Amino acid sequence: MAKNEALLIIDYTNDFVDNKGALTCGKPAQVLDSRIVELADQIKADGGWVILPTDLHKKDDPYHPETKLYPPHNLAGSWGREFYGKLAPWYDANKDDPQVYMYDKTRYSAFAGTDLDLRLRERHVDTLHLVGVCTDICVLHTAVDAYDLNYQLIIHENAVATLTQAAQDWALAHFKNVIGAKVVD
């Protein structure tokens, strides 16, 4: 990895990962813990960027489409919105580092309604490494937007998870066959 690369750790929170989470991927997401932190350390050491786009919702928000689709999750100030496992202390230890950036997102894509593209271009980033959850939802929508913005994409297969194996398999094939992403172990 190099300075022109960024790792996006997408939605790796208690609500999406922990057994008690409101919308959990469970064990498939929990086993990603060490790999995600390892990748964060690696890209940071190589001079790249570690960015944590993190889902944020208001309970019973009548204007948000997810309110009709899912139970309340990643609510502001809640345990569910806190980073899961080893990522929580990693972020606490690195949050003041200029190479590390966490921000709120309110849609599936990390680009929708945010300044992510601007921040990446300011830093001359052209390659994105995607990890986190859910592979077929927020990771996928972020990847499609990144593709449309002409970023090179690397999906770390052993650092993404979703709610079902069928959805995982479909999303990984979609990354490779439809948007030309490189899928690696």
pLDDT per residue over 7-41, tens digit each? 999 999 999 999 999 999 999 999 999 999 999 99
pLDDT at 1: 52
Q: Which of 153, 103, 155 is nearest to 132 (CA)?
A: 155
* CB 113 within 8 Å of CB 65: no
Q: How far apart are CA 100 and CA 119, in angstroms?
A: 12
Q: How far apart are CA 145 and CA 131, in angstroms?
A: 15
Beta strand residue intervals within the chain, DSSP E: 5-10, 49-55, 100-105, 127-133, 152-161, 182-184
- Kindly list the averaged pLDDT for each block of 10 residues, start to end, along the chain of length 185: 88 98 97 98 97 93 85 93 98 98 97 97 97 98 98 98 98 98 96
Q: Is the pTM of this model over 0.85?
A: yes
Which residues face 9 on adjacent strands?
131
5-184 belongs to which homologous superfamily? Isochorismatase-like (3.40.50.850)
Domains in the chain: boundaries: 5-184
pLDDT at 58: 87
